Structure 1
Amino acid sequence: MEGPRSPQETEFPQVLDFLNKKLRSEASWSIAAEYPTAFSSNNLHNMRIIADEGHVLSHAVLKPLIIKSPHVIFKVGAIGSVVTDDRHRGQGLSTQVIGDCLRLASEQSCDIAILWTDLFDFYRRMGFELAGSEISFVIEENFDIPPTNLRFSTDSKVSPDAIYRLYSAHSVNSVRTIEETRKFLSIPQTKVYTAWESNGQLAAYAIEGKGVDLGGYIHEWGGSVSKLMALFSFIRAQKNQPYTIICPRHAQNLIQQLQQKPVTMNQGFLGMIKLINFDQLSAKIKRAFRAEGMPDVVLEKHPDHFVFGVGQNLFTINNETDMVRLLFGPVDYRTLGLFKEETIQKLEKVLPLNLWIWGWDSI
Structure 2
Amino acid sequence: MEGPRSPREAELPQVFDFLNKKLRSEAPWSITAEYPTAFTPQNIHNMRIIADDEKVLSHAVMKPLIIKSPHVIFKVGAIGSVVTDDAARGQGLSTQIITDCLKSATEQSCDIAILWTDLFDFYRRMGFELAGSEVSFVIEEEFNVPPVNLRFSDDPKVSPDAIYRLYASHSVNSVRTIEETRKFLSIPQTKVYTAWETNGQLAAYAIEGKGVDLGGYIHEWGGSVSKLMALFAYIRAQKKQPYTIIVPRHSQNLINQLQTKEVTMNSGFLGMIKLVNFDQLAAKIKRAFRAEGVADIVLEKHPAHFVFGVGQELVTIEQETDLVKLLFGPIDYRALGLFKEETVVKLEKVLPLPLWVWGWDSI
Same fold (TM over 0.5): yes
Counterpart position of 1:236: 236
What's the Cα RMSD here? 0.3
Counterpart position of 2:338: 338
Counterpart position of 1:226: 226
Give 1:306 shift. Answer: 0.4
Counterpart position of 1:355: 355
Secondary structure of the residue that 1:349 maps to in structure 2?
Answer: coil
For 1:308 and 1:141, the matched residues in 2 are separated by 46
**Residues 59-86 of structure 1 deviation map (CA, whole Å, 9 limit, x = unaligned):** 0000000000000000000000000000
Give, as a single letter, the amino acid of the residue that structure 2 aligns with 1:212.
Answer: V
Give 1:335 shift. Answer: 1.2
Secondary structure of the residue that 1:264 maps to in structure 2?
Answer: strand
Secondary structure of the residue that 1:343 maps to in structure 2?
Answer: helix
Counterpart position of 1:287: 287
For 1:42 and 1:182, the matched residues in 2 are separated by 17
Give 1:337 shift. Answer: 1.4
Give 1:163 shift. Answer: 0.1
For 2:237 and 2:90, the matched residues in 1 are separated by 48
Counterpart position of 2:158: 158
For 1:360 and 1:288, the matched residues in 2 are separated by 28
Give 1:281 shift. Answer: 0.2
Q: What are the within-5 Å matches in structure 2 for residues 232-311 of structure 1?
A: 232-311=232-311
Gaps of 5+ in 2: none
For 2:217 and 2:354, the matched residues in 1 are separated by 22
Q: What are the within-5 Å matches in structure 2 for residues 7-156 of structure 1?
A: 7-156=7-156
For 2:340 and 2:299, the matched residues in 1 are separated by 17
- The runs of at least 4 consecutive aligned structure 1 residues that moved more than 6 Å come to none
Gaps of 5+ in 1: none
For 2:225 and 2:290, the matched residues in 1 are separated by 32
Counterpart position of 1:197: 197
**Percent identity over the alignment?**
84
For 2:345 and 2:54, the matched residues in 1 are separated by 58
Matched residues, number:
363
For 2:292 and 2:347, the matched residues in 1 are separated by 10
TM-score for the superposition, normalised by structure 1: 1.00
**Residues 33-65 of structure 1 deviation map (CA, whole Å, 9 limit, x = unaligned):** 000000000000000000001100000000000
For 2:45 and 2:18, the matched residues in 1 are separated by 18
For 1:215 and 1:14, the matched residues in 2 are separated by 28
TM-score for the superposition, normalised by structure 2: 1.00
Secondary structure of the residue that 1:352 maps to in structure 2?
Answer: coil
Counterpart position of 2:176: 176
Secondary structure of the residue that 2:43 maps to in structure 1?
Answer: helix
**Residues 250-288 of structure 1 deviation map (CA, whole Å, 9 limit, x = unaligned):** 000000000000000000000000000001000000000
For 1:309 and 1:239, the matched residues in 2 are separated by 49
Give, as a single letter, the amino acid of the residue that structure 2 aligns with 1:28.
Answer: P
For 1:117 and 1:327, the matched residues in 2 are separated by 21
Give 1:172 shift. Answer: 0.1
Give, as a single letter, the amino acid of the residue that structure 1 aligns with 2:171.
Answer: S
Secondary structure of the residue that 2:123 maps to in structure 1?
Answer: helix
For 2:166 and 2:106, the matched residues in 1 are separated by 32
For 1:302 and 1:327, the matched residues in 2 are separated by 17
Secondary structure of the residue that 1:74 maps to in structure 2?
Answer: strand
